[in-house]
A and B are shown apart, each in its own frame.
Chain A
Amino acid sequence: MTTVLNGLTLAAVLSLVAIGLAVIFGLMRVINMAHGEMFILGSYTVVAAWEATGNVWLGIALAPFVVGAIGWAIERTMIRRLSGRLLDTLVATWGLSIVIREGLKVVFGAGSRNLPFPFTGDLTVLGTRYPLYRLFLIALAVVVMATVLWVFLRTDFGWKVSAVTQDREMAMAMGIDAGRIDAAVFALGAGLAGLAGAVMTPLITLNPEVGLFFLARSFLVVIVGGVGSLLGTAAGAGLIGMGQAALAASFRPVIAQIVLLVLAIVIIRLRPTGLFGRLQG
């Protein structure tokens, strides 16, 4: 039972991080190599708020907006100038990730930070005592995924995004400001990563390098789940998270990692577009 809950926690964290990457790549065709840095910017927002006020919740509440604003600025100043050039945006965001990482070292120091949990305690779930904060992460991930799906499938904004993604010129001809949609999507993706970083902060030992780990994991989730599909991201996160928990419960961690990556390769070989992929070929 603990293994199932562990898997759900991992899946929750992965989906929170990966959904932002999926949104940006699926809708804008931009591979954001600075996504891991959006994650740690969220974490450092919590650190800064905590050091100023001693309140962890404040930082968690602020992080998606702060990082979303940073994402918006990045799109306005950098991404849009490279629009449609996949490799160029890849290299540019990679460079940006280095700048942000080293910038954080200058501002916060290269050392590691540790923050307290906003609440502690455990709850008995189906006969197993499990930390409350991890249960909170699972619930939060469900709420966030549902909200994101709702936004893209049921709101006016979501329809406009679909329109721009499917036929940019026609959408513009119909009076949709595609540039603003791009900026909003990028800000949303960054903000989601910021939120993920913020809620993960109490669980990890934070330093400016942590983002790289989460970037790699997010790519795995997005690719396995299927590029361009939000539901696929949820499925990918669930598969990888549960898979890792199940494998780690019975194998050495190194073996579990290897098996997991082999599984991912097999899935991509059998279904090149991922579990829910709708890309051609």
Chain B
Amino acid sequence: MVRKRFGTPLGRREFLRRSGIGVAAITVGSGWLAACASEDGGGGGGGGGQSGEPFKLGALIPLTGIETHVGQSMLVSTEIAVEEINAAGGVLGRPIELVVEDEASDPAVAVEKAKKLINEEGVTFIVGTLISAVRNAVVEFTRPAGVPLFNPTYYEGGLCGPYFLSTGALPNQQIDPFVPWLVENHGSSFYLIGSDYVWPRGSFAHLKRGLEALGGTVVGEEYVPFGVTDFSAEIGRILDAKPDVLYPLIAGVDGITFWKQLAGFDFRGTRASHSVSEAIVQALDPETASGIVTAAPYFMALDNPANEKFLETYLARSPAKYVDTFGEGLYDAVHMFALGAERAGTFETDPLMEGLKGVEFDAPQGRIRIDPATLHTSHAFHVAVVRGNDWDQFEIVHSEEGIEPAADCGAA
């Protein structure tokens, strides 16, 4: 029972969960205590359990690796959704038990963890994954295994099929509305710099189509490998190109390094990127963060009752004190899973996925709905200008609601 990583916050948390004594998610409703005591980690799990027995939901979260800055917020958001569901009586009379594995933002590790969740823990549904390289690798395993993956994060589109559902924004829900707003307010020459993998490349392809349609120009486009510690050459080229808008999509902590290093140089254009979130900004100086323009379905600064309720719970317990669209996406994914199961009246995979079609949920970002054709959700769209380095210093300057997904399923 003792885990290798004990001693870290994660290790303790996972140890408690797995040993079945301290599981907050289960003990919230006191009615489940008996069920908890009788539950004995065996091979059971998944779809065929009896009433009252916890239903195991798998979660793949990047707790280590290049996305560590959002890992904790994703974990806590998932836990909060599970707690809320269990406190309200569970799903179909059964509490949800979360089984978390660290996918480490590493495709090879993530696939092994997915195998472990399915083969050893017996889970039949998985929420999570973050970077596209991991998502694509995991889907290649979960799809043939018939285990649906609920993706919480924005991505470049193209993943469809019966066993993939996404509560993350597609390019048409995030990039397409953002480009015209930037061109109108900040100018039409763009410099694009991204990490060298599928998400920045796919997203930039989309961005360029939108920009060209508006008569804008791309004055520079380049891709950098993971783990860069010095961006001075790239920054030199950006300064020479003098774009109106600098649009980086540099993944994870490398992106934070990029903003920090850019701050020392004399860049006068607008800094914009839909990858800048509450989690990125809190790692920067207020002066460095100020002025960055970002766009997402969700910001903590949104003013609506569902967000107020979510943040009240979140801020009361998270060690990290910030959450972004990834965490919100997981919170939505878990809640929608529960709604789909209730509607289908079963945890059986195929009927449950059928039941999810058209499900609506009052998410912290606003009301979203699962498109029956593509299993991607509709989204709100917000543009925010960052005014400091805390979540409540995101000034929402433009909002749209209910943008339907264009998942580009033919491309898969």
Contacts and interface: CB of A to CB of B under 8 A. Distances in A.
Interface of A: 2-3, 6, 9-10, 13, 105-106, 109-112, 114, 116-117, 120, 122, 129-134, 202-205, 207, 210, 213-214, 244-245, 248-249, 252-254, 256-257
Interface string B272-314: 0000000000011101000000000000000000000000000
Nearest to A116: B285
A131 B253 contact: no
Given A10-B232, A116-B285, A122 B265 contact: yes
Contact of A203 (B9, B71, B260): B260
A214 B254 CA distance: 16
B239 A2 contact: yes
A111 B237 contact: no
B232 A114 contact: no
Interface residues of B, number: 39
A207 B68 contact: yes
Contact of A253 (B7, B224, B264): B224
B64 interface: yes
Interface in B50-76: 63-64, 68-69, 71-72
Given A105-B8, A205-B254, A6 B232 contact: yes
Contacts of A131: 264-265
B236 A205 contact: no
Contacts of B264: 117, 120, 122, 131-134
A203 B72 CA distance: 24
B263 A253 contact: no
In the A-B complex, the 6 residue pairs with the smallest Cβ-Cβ separation, listed nearest first, are: A131-B264, A248-B233, A6-B232, A114-B283, A205-B253, A111-B68
B256 A112 contact: yes
Given A109-B9, A120-B264, A253-B223, 10 more contacts: A122-B264, A129-B266, A131-B265, A132-B264, A205-B254, A205-B283, A249-B233, A249-B236, A249-B237, A253-B228
Given A10-B232, A245-B233, A249-B233, A110 B63 contact: yes
B257 interface: yes
Contact of A213 (B71, B222, B227): B227
Contacts of A6: 230, 232-233, 236
Nearest to A208: B64
A114 B256 contact: yes
A253 B10 CA distance: 35
5 contacts: A109-B9, A203-B260, A205-B257, A205-B260, A213-B227
Nearest to B232: A6
A110 B236 contact: no
Given A248-B233, A254-B225, A110 B265 contact: no
Interface string B203-232: 000000000000000000011110111101
A114 B225 contact: no
A109 B319 CA distance: 13
B196 interface: yes
Contacts of A253: 222-225, 228, 233-234
A112 B253 contact: yes
Contacts of A106: 7-8
Contacts of B7: 106
Interface in B170-219: 196
Nearest to B223: A252
Nearest to A249: B233
A245 B68 CA distance: 29
Nearest to B285: A116
Nearest to A203: B261
Contacts of A134: 232, 264
B251 to A, nearest CB: 12
A117 B263 CA distance: 10
A257 B228 CA distance: 11
Nearest to A217: B229
For A111, A214, A256, the residue with the greatest tally of chain B CB atoms inside 10 Å of its CB is A111
Contact of B260 (A10, A110, A114, A245): A114
For B228, B232, B236, B261, the residue with the greatest tally of chain A CB atoms inside 10 Å of its CB is B232
A267 B72 CA distance: 47
Contacts of A214: 229
A253 B264 CA distance: 21
Interface in B1-31: 7-10
Contacts of A257: 225
A6 B233 CA distance: 7
Contacts of B223: 252-253
Given A111-B72, A112-B68, A252 B222 contact: yes
A13 B253 CA distance: 20
Given A122-B264, A205-B260, A252-B222, A3 B9 contact: no
Interface string B332-355: 000000000000000000000000
B201 to A, nearest CB: 13
Nearest to A254: B225
B70 to A, nearest CB: 10
